[in-house]
C-alpha cells in the first residue's frame, strides 16, 4: 500500500495492489469507521480530505474523511530523515448509497476482466479459495501471493491466521488486518506481539492493545512502546477495557511529569 498526499487539492490517493486489496481495505474502514495512515506532514484536527482509491485496474472510487487525531512525528532512517505523522481518519458521508457505489465500482472492473482471469488461473482466486477446506487454506496461506493473502485474511480460522504469519511475504499491512479481526484468538495475537518485525508498526501495536482478545498483561506491557499522544487517546477512549484505560492514563501522566 502506498499513499500520495496533495495538500493543494486536499486529496489523499491510496494505491493498492489489486481489487481484492481494495475490498479488504474498505472492509476494515467500514468496521473501524476510519483508518490510520502515515503522512509526510502534520494535518490539523478536523481537516477534511477526499480519499481516492487506485489499483492496477481502473477503479474510480473516492470518499471523504476528516482528521480525527494526529500522533507525534516519527523519524525513521537516522539523522536527516523525514518525519512521518501517523494520522487517524474518520470516514464521512458513508451509508448504503456509498456502499452500493463501491460495489458497482468493484463489480464493474471485475466483470470486464473475469474471462481473462479465468483463462490465466483456471478459476477466479476467490472462487477457488472458497471451495477449499480449512486445512487446504492453511497450506495455501504458507505460500500465498498478494491476491490470495488478501482473500485469506478474511478467514476466521486460527489455523489459517497462524499459517499466514509463517508466509515469508506477509507484511505489516497483512498483520494489522489479522490483529484487527474480532476472530483473532489470544494465541495468534501473542505470536504477533512476540515478533519484532510486527510490533515496530504503530498500527499493529495499537491494534494489539485495543483488541479485547489480547491477554491483559500483554496489552498493558505493549503500552510502554506507544507514543505519548496514543496513550492520551487510549486513556480517554470508551472503547477499551477499564484496566487498559487506567494503565494508559497512568503512563501518560508519568511521562508528562504529573
Residue 119 confidence class, pLDDT cut points 50, 70, 90: very low
User: pLDDT higher for 175 or 240?
Assistant: 175
- In this structure, what C-alpha cell is assigned to residue 118? 479465468
Write down which residue in 87, 116, 145 finishes a domain.
Answer: 116
Q: Count up the domains in the chain and report the number.
A: 2
Residue 122 lies in a domain: no
**Separation in Å, CA 173 to CA 26, 125, 138, 205:** 13, 20, 19, 12
Q: What is the pLDDT of residue 225?
A: 85
Q: Which domain holds residue 104?
A: 2-116
Extended beta strands in the chain, E state: 2-6, 11-15, 34-39, 48-54, 61-75, 83-91
Say if residue 104 is in the same domain as residue 77: yes
Give the pLDDT mean for 114-142: 73
Share of the chain above pLDDT 70, in %: 87
Do 110 and 134 lie in one domain? The reply is no
Question: Which of 60, 84, 116 is at the close of a domain?
Answer: 116
Q: What is the pLDDT of residue 135?
A: 92
pLDDT for 114 equals 46
pLDDT single digits (tens) 129-171: 888 899 999 999 999 988 888 889 888 899 999 999 999 989 8
Note the pLDDT of residue 75: 59
One domain, residues 238 and 154 = yes
pLDDT averaged over every residue in the chain = 83
- Give the lowest-confidence range in 56-60, 116-120, 134-138, 250-254: 116-120
Query: Does residue 55 belong to any structural domain of this protein?
Result: yes
Q: Which of 33-47, 70-84, 177-191 has the lowest mean pLDDT?
A: 70-84
Task: Reply yes or no on whether the pLDDT at 103 is more than 80.
Answer: no
Contact 166, 144 (CB under 8 A): no
* Dist. CA 142–CA 71, nearest whole Å: 34
Residue 36 near residue 86, CB atoms below 8 Å: yes
Amino acid at each position: 500500500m502506498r499513499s500520495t498526499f496533495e495538500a493543494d487539492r486536499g486529496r489523499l490517493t491510496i494505491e493498492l495492489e489489486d481489487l481484492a486489496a481494495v475490498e479488504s481495505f474498505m472492509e476494515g474502514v467500514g468496521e473501524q469507521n476510519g483508518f490510520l495512515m502515515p503522512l509526510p506532514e502534520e494535518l490539523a484536527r478536523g481537516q477534511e480530505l477526499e480519499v481516492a482509491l487506485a489499483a492496477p485496474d481502473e477503479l474510480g472510487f473516492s470518499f471523504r474523511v476528516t482528521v480525527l487525531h494526529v500522533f507525534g512525528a516519527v523519524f525513521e532512517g537516522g539523522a536527516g530523515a523525514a518525519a512521518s505523522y501517523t494520522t487517524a481518519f474518520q470516514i464521512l458521508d458513508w451509508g448504503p448509497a456509498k456502499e452500493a457505489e463501491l460495489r458497482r465500482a468493484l463489480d464493474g472492473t471485475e466483470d470486464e476482466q473475469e474471462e481473462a482471469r479465468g483463462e490465466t488461473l483456471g478459476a477466479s482466486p476467490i472462487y477457488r479459495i472458497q471451495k477449499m477446506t480449512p486445512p487446504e487454506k492453511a497450506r495455501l496461506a504458507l505460500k500465498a501471493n498478494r491476491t490470495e493473502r488478501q482473500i485469506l485474511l478474511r478467514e476466521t480460522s486460527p489455523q489459517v491466521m497462524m499459517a499466514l504469519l509463517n508466509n515469508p511475504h506477509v507484511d505489516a499491512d497483512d498483520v494489522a488486518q489479522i490483529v484487527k479481526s474480532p476472530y483473532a484468538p489470544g494465541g495468534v495475537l501473542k505470536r504477533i506481539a512476540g515478533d519484532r518485525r510486527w510490533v515496530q508498526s504503530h498500527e499493529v501495536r495499537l491494534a494489539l492493545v485495543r483488541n479485547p482478545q489480547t491477554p491483559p498483561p500483554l496489552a498493558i506491557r505493549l503500552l510502554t512502546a506507544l507514543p505519548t499522544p496514543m496513550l492520551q487517546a487510549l486513556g480517554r477512549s470508551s472503547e477499551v477495557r477499564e484496566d487498559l484505560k487506567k494503565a494508559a492514563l497512568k503512563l501518560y501522566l508519568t511521562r508528562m511529569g504529573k
